[in-house]
Structure 1
Amino acid sequence: MAGKFHLKKASDGQFHFNLRAGNGEIVLTSELYKAKDSALNGIESVRKNALREGAFETKAASNGKHYFVLKATNGQVIGQSQQYTSEASASQGIQSVISSAPGATLTDES
């Protein structure tokens, strides 16, 4: 099963998206965007940057869990993962984004 981007409108009127892997789990959540077109551009940026060397950065949270961010070429964070219990699990999440994002379909729930 292929990945899917889910575009949503937040209660404050801003837009955001989640990337769900083939198993339905959310593997990446975007920042908030003021305009829908900006969120759609963010989705395209995830598709492109997911395959770019050095685009992912794994980090440790203050609670000892691990997460990753996906950055655009300008260094701006495009999306962030959930928290994982281990760095190895976060790496598996990165692999899921790499395999899911390029061909993921878009479901517009906004």
Structure 2
Amino acid sequence: MAERYELFLGTNKQYYFRLVAPNNEIILQSEGYVSLQGAENGIASCKTHSPYDKYYRRLTNARNAPYFTLIASNGKVIGVSEAYSSSQAREKGIDAVKRYGPSAQVVRRAA
């Protein structure tokens, strides 16, 4: 299956999206949105900002594992990656979001 944004309603009644690569790996996940329109706007923002390196923040978690966030022009987080085993693996994740984010189709899914 091709790259896609999966849009779904969580068990907490909030809407989420995730960017999924062609190999079915989740490469970016959103935070919860109270409305479907909010989640759709998040996807649109992801499509707009994902090609540009300046919108990525390279971070490490409490266990010192690298991960990244994609932020919007206003500084708000659009999505968060998984924790990676190395900085090089994180860069590959960023490259995947840059490659697939702008053109991925939106698919509505059950949670």
Q: TM-score range by the shorter chain?
A: over 0.9
Partners of 1:29 and 1:46 lie apart in 2 by: 11
Deviation, 1:62, is 1.2
Partners of 1:97 and 1:12 lie apart in 2 by: 27
Aligned structure 1 segments of 4 or more residues deviating by more than 4 angstroms: none
How many residue pairs match? The answer is: 110
Deviation, 1:3, is 1.4
Question: Where does residue 87 of structure 1 map in the other structure?
Answer: 87
> 5+ residue gaps in structure 1?
none
> 5+ residue gaps in structure 2?
none
Deviation, 1:22, is 1.5
Matched, 1:50 2:50: yes
CA contact (8 A) 1:2 1:103 kept: no
Normalized against structure 1, the TM-score is what?
Answer: 0.95
Deviation, 1:51, is 1.4
Deviation, 1:5, is 0.3
Question: Where does residue 10 of structure 2 map in the other structure?
Answer: 10
Aligned CA-pair RMSD: 1.1
Residue 33 of structure 1 aligns to a residue whose secondary structure is coil
Partners of 1:109 and 1:61 lie apart in 2 by: 29
Deviations 1:17-64 (A, max 9, x none): 110012110000001000000000000100000013400011011112
Normalized against structure 2, the TM-score is what?
Answer: 0.95
Q: What is the percent sequence identity of the aligned residues?
A: 33
Question: How do 1:70-85 and structure 2 match up within 5 A?
Answer: 70-85=70-85
Question: Where does residue 98 of structure 1 map in the other structure?
Answer: 98
